[in-house]
Amino acid sequence: MNKLSKDPINLVVAGVGGQGNVMVSLVIGNTLVHDGYFVTIGETYGSSQRGGSVMSHLKVSAEKQYSPLIPEGQADIVLGMEPVETLRVLKSFGNQNVVTVVNPRPIHPVDFTGSGSGYPDMESLLQQLKGMSAKTYVVAATEEAQKLGNAMLANMILIGALIETGLVAISQAAIEKTIKDMFPKAIKENIAALNKGKELASVLQ
């Protein structure tokens, strides 16, 4: 177990119901617990259905068990599975030191009415995210996952990118073990996606 750069490390995973937010936090959390860390995960969710904003709070510590919710403005990392949701999280939990990893693929809300202005312009949305983060990694996870044949692999691409930032103490061996435990029928695809994410983030370093 390595000493953390900060204790606890506060990570928020932001997305939309149905994207696999819970699974992402579980992959990260399981890996860190098996490496000896204390991990607490809290999910703020709009029921169990689809379409609502979903976010998971992860607190990682070498010392103790923390509560499942991160206080206002105290995120160290935001892992954004969806750009609007990433901005929403930064607004509540961001600060001048936060590092953001974001998938720029939008999930459109269903509640635009005829007079609605539509989904925000992606370029200015990403500018907002960058302005509110110390460093921003824009990782086209869904697009790359579709090339790999399954859009759901976007989640593992994002995890790969997160690991590549070096902010969470996860080794390649540890994450591969988690993948083998959790996805025994899809080990190869998930490791390929993980490595793709690392590769994409390394270019942005």
Partner 1 sequence: MPYIDMDAPGSNQLFIGNEAMARGALEAGIGFASAYPGTPSSEILGSLAEIAKKRDIYVEWSVNEKVAIEAGAAASFAGIRSLVAMKMNGLNVVIDFLSTIILSGIGKKGLVLMVGDDPAAHSSSNETDSRPVSKWLDIPLVEPGDFQEAKDMMPFLYDISEEFGTICIMRSVTRIAHARGNIRLGEIPKVEHKARFEQYYDTAAPMPTPIMCIPSSFRHMFQHMRIDKIREKFESSAFNKYVGPEKPDLLIITSGSGWLYSQDAVNALKAEDRIGILKLGTLWPLPEKLIKTHLSRADKVLFIEETDPFLEGAIMEFAASFSPESKRNLFYGNHTRHLNSFGELTPDAVIKAITGVLDIKYEPRDAEYMKKVEAVPQQYIMDRLLTFCPGCPHRASFWAIKNALAMDGRHGFVTGDIGCYTMALGPAGFFQTRTHQCMGAGAGLANGFGQLSRFGFDQPVVSVVGDSTFYHSIIPALVNGVHNHANFTLVILDNGATAMTGFQPHPGTELTAMGEPAAQISMENICRAIGARVEVCDPFDLKNTTRTMLDLIEQNEGARVAIMRRTCELVRQKKDKKPYKMKIDPDKCLGEDCGCNRLCTRVFRCPGLIWDPALGKTRIDEVICNECGVCADICPEGAITREAVA
Interface residues with partner 1 (CB under 8 A) are 16-18, 25-26, 29-30, 33-34, 36, 38-43, 45-53, 65-74, 84, 87-88, 91, 94-96, 105, 107-114, 116-118, 120, 125, 128, 131-132, 142, 146, 151, 181-182
Give the shortest CB-166-to-partner 1 separation in angstroms: 22
Of 79, 73, 71, the residue nearest 95 (C-alpha): 73
Give the shortest CB-37-to-partner 1 separation in angstroms: 8
Q: How many angstroms from the chain centroid is the CA of residue 116?
A: 28
Give the shortest CB-183-to-partner 1 separation in angstroms: 9
Closer of 134 and 202 to partner 1 (Cβ): 134
Partner residues linked to 61 by β-bridges: 38
Rounding to the nearest 10 degrees, give the CA dihedral for residues 14, 126, 167, 92: -50
Closer of 147 and 202 to partner 1 (Cβ): 147
Contacts of 183 (CB under 8 A, 6+ apart): 190
Closer of 51 and 195 to partner 1 (Cβ): 51
Give the shortest CB-5-to-partner 1 separation in angstroms: 18
Rounding to the nearest 10 degrees, give the CA dihedral for residues 36, 86, 195, 163: -30
